Every structure is written in structure tokens, then in C-alpha cells.
Amino acid sequence: MLKSNWNYPTNIWVGENRIKDLTKACKDLKIQKPLLVTDKGLVKTEIVSKALKILQDDGIFVKTFSNVIGNPTGTNVNEGVEIFNKNNCDGIIALGGGSGLDVGKAIAFMVSQTLPIWDFEDVGENWTKANSKKIAPIIAIPTTAGTGSETGRASVILNEETGVKKIIFHPKFLPSIVILDPSLTLKLPPNITAATGMDALAHNLEAYCAPGYHPMADGIALEGMRLIYRSLLIAFNDGSNLQARTNMLVAASMGSTAFQKGLGAIHSLSHPINAQNNVHHGLSNAIFMPYVLTFNRDVIEKKIIKICDYLEFKDKSFESFLTWILDLRKQLKIPDNLSSVIDNEDFDINLLSKMALEDPSSITNPKRLTLEDMKILYKNSYSGVLFNE
């Protein structure tokens, strides 16, 4: 049997209004001067003002950093590190969607490093180059139910010089305390609920289908998909449903936990589109999902039938599962092709295909990928042709 290293999540506090426990989280981690990291849009909302008030009322000095964009960059991280050090901060509160969480974790990591962030790309043993003794403690509070970055040991950061998204990894990227508070997601717009929910589905689905021996990840991924199956459309149609919102938050965290087993072509196709065309990651994952499923069919069909069985589909078949995905996208008002979100003149299939093949997620796709495969997948996804006829 092959040797494997399995890692599982951290302390997770789940429930309505658990944001009120933010001060306790800081005290438990001995954080006295946190840097709250969020994005440009969220910093103006009641969610952030409420978090700041909780801390300030309890006498905790807090500085805010919000210069974070949707597909976060190395510059975002460097600016945050400068503010952290300038204000003698001693911990990170990462609050927001995937971008805020990824940047917050990267800042906590980089405050103690002398090498540039790109030296810690998730390749080989790069993470061992890091000074791991002074990484700042992290509290993660997701406000969307998609990336699962709160339970991840990496951040996805765009290198502006190369135009390539890089996965930056270190075991201590994993937050020490996670707060899953569904009340923070109640005002999430339906389109963001849809895109982030499909992102969570992509994580669980690709993790389950990835090759390798990891039964615990498989079990988590299956249950994550069940929660999404039962809750995503409810959260989309009735954003005030707390149980559905809770289920989606948990499913997102489960997906991130499960994909330590690996991802696949959905993500390797998405990352270049996110970097080059600034398309929302969850949206691109949703668009690519059926095309990749079809491509991988001959090696994943038995696993897909097992998913159907676990979800209690009447028809336990690959066709049934694919039909569910297509219908789900339609009900969530997600386009079925790339041409709906990218203009033809901005669609450089040769560049994108090369980037996708080089993406680390390609390595754990169930079926071996070639440059020509990537071109076909992009071509079909752009035109809306599901099968390569």
C-alpha cells in the first residue's frame, strides 16, 4: 500500500451569531492586536462593522486591511504584511470570501519570511524553506460558502508578473480557530450563493473522484455533496433559511478538507480563466464541471454511480448525475458556456491550455491530461458542445 499523509481540520465553532465569540477566540490564541483582513466590498458592510465593534467593546485594539481584490495578488499580500508589521500586530482575523481568507492566511505566513512568497509554491518540499516559528495565529470567518479556505493549508495568489495563479502552501496556513456563523451569509446575493455553492460542489466532487487511497477524504466528500444536494437550491431561493446556510458553510469546509486528496481538470481549467479573464472562480468551476465529467467518464463512472446511491437518486447512473448537474446549473441561473462570460478576442486558447496543463490540479485528475485535451475542453466549454463529436 502506498504511504499517505492525512491532515484534518482545526477548531471549528459552528452556529448562529458565533461571531460574538470573536473576542474569546482572540484571547484563546493570545492575540492582543489583530489585523482584520477583508475585501474592498465587505469592509463597507454591517458584517465588518459588527466584528470591529465586538472587539473594540472588549478593549481589543484592531487594525483593518481591505485592499484585497477578487483574484488576490502578491501585491495585496505584501501591502498587508507592511501594515501588520507597522502596527505591531500579533494575529490575523481573516473575514470574508475566499479572497479575504487567502490573503489573510498569506499575510500571517509572510510576516516572518525573508524569501518571496513565490518560493513557497506548492511544489515538492518548497514549504520546508519557511521560517515556521513566527507565523502569526489565524482566526478565519467565512462569509460565503464556497472556497473552504478556512480549513485549507494553502492560499491561491495571482503572480501579476506572470499572470499565473500560484498555490502557496504551508501546514501552518491552517487557521487555529474557524467561526462558521450562518447569520453572516444571510444577505449573500443569489448569484454569489450559486457560484460559491458550485465551487463547494466542485471541491467535494473532484476530491472524491481523484485517484489515491484516502477513505476519510472520500467519506467527507460524499457527505459534503449530500449537504449541497439538499441545501444549495434552498439557500439560493430563500437566503434567510439558516439551516440551509449552515449546511452550505459546513459543506464548503468539508470540500476544502477533502481536497487534500487532490482536485482535477475543473480547477486546472478554471485557474487560468480566473487569472487572465478575471472570471469568478466558482462560476468558472460551474461552467467547466459537466465538460470535465464527460471527459473523465470512462475512469470515474463507478464512483459517480456510488455518489448517486449516496444521494438516493432513483436512477443510479452517470447520465442521471450529469443531468442533475446540468439542471442544477440551470436552476441557479449559471451559464452553460464560457462565451457567456468571455469575449472571443479575450479567449487565447493556446495560452490558457498551456497554463491549465501546468496547473498542479491537473496532476490528480482521474484521467491523464495532454495539451490537446485541454484545448478540446476549452473549445467545447466555450461553444457549449458537451461531447466531442
State yes or no: pLDDT of 211 exceeds 80. yes
* pTM (two decimals): 0.92
Mean pLDDT of 36-57: 94
pLDDT of 2 > 70? The answer is no
The Cα–Cα gap between 293 and 283 comes to 16
Q: Is 161 exposed, middle or buried (0-12, 13-18, 19+ CB in 10 A)?
A: exposed
Q: What is the DSSP letter of 137?
A: P
DSSP secondary structure letters along 276-302: HH---HHHHHHHHHHHHHHHHHHHHHH
Decide the pairing of beta strands 177-180 and 164-169: unpaired
CA–CA gap between residue 216 and residue 6 (Å, rounded): 9
Q: Which of 9-13, 138-142, 312-316 has the lowest mean pLDDT?
A: 9-13
What integer pLDDT is reported at residue 188 of this predicted model? 93
Strand partners, 179: 13
**62-104 pLDDT per residue, tens:** 999 999 998 899 999 999 999 999 999 999 999 999 999 999 9
pLDDT tens per residue, range 118-135: 999 988 899 999 998 889
- Name the pairing type of β-strands 34-37 and 91-96: parallel
pLDDT at 389: 43
pLDDT of residue 4: 60
Give me the pLDDT at residue 5, please. 66
In the prediction, which pLDDT does 386 show?
Answer: 86
Q: What is the pLDDT of residues 172-192, one digit of tens each?
A: 999 999 999 999 999 999 999
Confidence of residue 1 (pLDDT cuts 50, 70, 90): very low
- pLDDT greater than 80 at residue 387: no
Residue-level pLDDT at 190: 97
Q: Dihedral sign, CA of 193, 197, 198, 199? A: positive
* Highest-confidence segment of 121-130, 166-175, 301-310: 301-310
Domains annotated for the chain, with CATH where assigned, are 11-185 (3.40.50.1970), 190-383 (1.20.1090.10)
Label residue 372 exposed, middle or buried (CB < 10 Å: 0-12, 13-18, 19+). exposed
Take residue 90 and report the three cell numbers written for it.
Answer: 500579533
Specify the pLDDT at position 7: 65
pLDDT tens digit string along 253-293? 999 999 999 999 999 999 999 999 999 999 999 999 999 99
Q: Which three cell numbers stand for residue 383?
A: 461553444
**What is the amino acid identity at position 157?**
I
Mean per-residue pLDDT for 210-222? 95
Which residue, chain included where needed, has cell 490575523? 92
**Residue 3: per-residue pLDDT:** 65
| Cβ pair 128, 115 in contact under 8 A | no
| pLDDT of 165 over the 80 cut | yes
Question: In angstroms, how far is CA 135 from the centroid of its own chain?
Answer: 22
Element (H, E) at 350: helix 349-358
Q: Which residues, 6+ apart, have CB-to-CB distance to 125 below 8 Å?
A: none
Rounded Cα distance between 269 and 175, Å, is 28
Average pLDDT, the chain: 94
Percent of the chain with pLDDT over 70: 97
